[in-house]
Amino acid sequence: MIWTGLSKPPERIEDASAIIYRLAFADPRFGMAPEWLLVSESADLTRTGRGEEVIWRLAWRRLSLHGSRDRGHESIYLVGMDPMPGSTAEQIAAYDAFYTATHVPEVATAGGYSSGARYELSEQHYYSQSRAPRFCAVYEADAAATARKLRSLEQRAVSKGSGDPAFSHGPAAWEGRVTAWRLLYRRVAVLAPSGTFPCRRSRRRPLHRCLPATSTDASRLRLPASPVP
């Protein structure tokens, strides 16, 4: 899976299948995040965007999947993290086992997510900070679960508390984990090799003109179903 994070809406994409997301919420306790996120299985997508617009170019390999992928999902909730600094291989193995078998199912159930997938960073093409987190989790949500999560994130930001349900405690490498970001992105468009998009592109209507101006506009789009990486 390839992530390309951009500061501006893309003006063009190489011939590839991609899902385009726009940032709806970034936990203020963590670092900056790209406003636009393009997700694809194609390596061609790493060439999308000009240098000054690119915030992330990251390749991930999937470790596990809990639940069923939702072809018509409204949003994705992303959590990037590293195990406790200095963890041994045995401690990371325990971290992995707990994260996959216990924590992801708990989060998926509590949040009403259709699926939760774990990924490990396989290649860092570009990252706005020095190093991307080693692991991330991606949770898919429908419209109702998205609205609930947005309210929870906004309340957490105001109260400056965790705002999370009481999840199970894990091994030392889990308890000492370092979170890099918690981000919620709304799906705004699907691009298939044939050019499926909310509007028809042309020289007079470039790709970025087909995208909604705001996340609120995006939430009202009727998007075509597409396989999700």
The reply to whether 226 falls in a domain is no
- How far is residue 77's CA from residue 94's CA, in Å, rounded to a whole number? 24
Higher pLDDT, 226 or 16: 16
The reply to whether 228 falls in a domain is no
The reply to whether 79 falls in a domain is yes
The reply to whether 198 falls in a domain is yes
What's the mean pLDDT in 14-33?
80
What average pLDDT is seen over the chain?
Answer: 80
The reply to whether 229 falls in a domain is no
- Domain containing 78 equals 2-219
pLDDT digit string, tens, across residues 145-154: 999 999 888 8
Three-state secondary structure call for residue 198: coil
Is pLDDT above 50 for 215?
A: no
pLDDT digit string, tens, across residues 62-76: 999 999 988 789 999
List CB contacts of 225: < 8 A, sequence separation 6 or more. 71, 72, 190
Is pLDDT above 50 for 195?
A: no
pLDDT band at 46 (very low <50, low <70, confident <90, very high): very low
The reply to whether 42 falls in a domain is yes
Q: 174-178, 192-196, 218-222: which range is least confident on average?
A: 218-222
pTM of the predicted model as reported, rounded to 2 decimal places? 0.81
Predicted pLDDT at 18: 82
How crowded is residue 46: how many other Cβ atoms within 10 Å of its Cβ? 21
- How far is residue 85's CA from residue 123's CA, in Å, rounded to a whole number? 20
Total structural domains in the chain?
Answer: 1
Is pLDDT above 50 for 214?
A: no
Predicted pLDDT at 47: 56
Predicted pLDDT at 9: 83
pLDDT digit string, tens, across residues 86-143: 999 999 999 999 999 999 999 999 999 999 999 999 999 888 778 899 999 999 999 9
The reply to whether 205 falls in a domain is yes
Helix axes 143-159, 104-111, angle to 10 degrees: 100
